[in-house]
Amino acid sequence: MIFEEFINYYNYFITLFLMSSGLYIVVARGNMVKKLVGLGLFQTSVYLLYLSPGKILGGTPPILAEGYEVYSNPLPHVLILTAIVVGVATLGLGLALVVRIHEAYGTIEEDEIFSKGDDLQEEDNKNSTLPGDAK
């Protein structure tokens, strides 16, 4: 009984596993490339979650013909194609930003970037003067 329920809904279990794995990678890792990989994994799980109920058993493509009464809705598939394109563009932008951050800070580790940013801010505070101050 339990095994049959698992087989009936295995795609949802896989989706939940991928979603939680992707979210964990995004939250727990400091490396920016690993965060982007986690984001891609999370996006893929959302695609699967959205497509799972999109297919109707016994449904045909929405082409009107005699003898067919049950049709599958093509809208989820079209929306996921659009989401994949947006996801690839987002990933490309993220990787470009990681390259620029590496050029500026010499690292892609989040903690090191924050510490270098704090050091730069302290230097700016020491070197800056208020408009009314005389040198």
**Which domain CATH number covers 31?**
1.10.287.3510
Q: How many domains does the chain have?
A: 1
> What pLDDT is attached to residue 93?
97
CA distance 22 to 61: 33
**Does residue 91 form part of some domain?**
yes
- In this prediction, residues 6-30 reach a mean pLDDT of 91
> 125 or 26: which carries more pLDDT confidence?
26
Please give the residue range of the domain that contains residue 42: 2-56+70-124
Q: Does the pLDDT of residue 100 top 80, yes or no? A: yes
User: 24-59 pLDDT, tens per residue?
Assistant: 999 998 899 999 999 999 999 999 988 887 777 777
24-48-15 Cα angle (round to 5): 40
Q: Is residue 9 part of a domain?
A: yes
Token pair for 121: 């801010």
Residue 33 pLDDT: 95
Instruction: Enter the pTM of the model.
Output: 0.76
CA distance 71 to 63: 8
CA atoms within 13 A on the CB side of 122: 6
